[in-house]
Amino acid sequence: MTRNGSTQLQSTEHGTSAFRVLRGIAVSSGYGSGSRPLHGICLDVARQAGAAGNRPIGSIIVDAAGGIVAQGENRMYTTFDPTAHGETVAIREATRKLRTVDLSGCTLYTSLEPCPMCCWAIIDSRFGTLAMGGRYAGLGRKDMGRYSVEAFLEFMGRPLQLVTGIRARACEDLRRAWEAEQQARARV
């Protein structure tokens, strides 16, 4: 990869996508037609999490052959575990199933931009690609400061191909609806 911010084309099993390279971080908006159905699964898993009383975030891990290895939904409130985010739940399931902590041949799809804790777990698990839907910036979240996955990767000096914007509006709308529901419950 170049480090000059140039746009490149990449052919994958999911199609051809343009991405820009920023200091070793490949960023694209869209990952071909294969990502939309996979993000649909993420949204379904996120809806299940929200229905159970957790934050509506869903993640799936797909192997190099395109098979779903694991899925995880946010379970923070129902398990009383602040680390039970959708990404970490999926990573735990995948590493147990595959009997390895090296998930370098896998892609993690998630409905919302991973928090710093989850981002580090993704990096430490050696994923080659992270495909995400909604963004904190898209939600207008001020409590995350200047955080973004790109900023975190640059700060840590770690490579990871990012695919952004897949069904972003649907992912962000789901989170907004959940937040509105939580605020309405708090008023009662």
Return the closest-CA partner of residue 158 out of 62, 52, 26, 46. Answer: 26
Of 13, 73, 87, 150, which residue is the catalytic one?
87
Taking 3-state DSSP, the helix, strand and coil percentages for the chain, each rounded to the nearest 5, stand at 40, 25, 35
Residues 6+ apart with CB under 8 A from 70: 60, 61, 90, 91, 93, 94, 97
Please check whether residue 98 is in contact with residue 123, taking contact to mean a CB–CB distance below 8 angstroms: no
Decide: 114 and 138 in contact? Cβ < 8 Å. Answer: no
60 residue type, one letter: I
Active site residue 179: no
**What's the DSSP call for residue 101?**
S
Q: Give me the active site residues, please.
A: 87
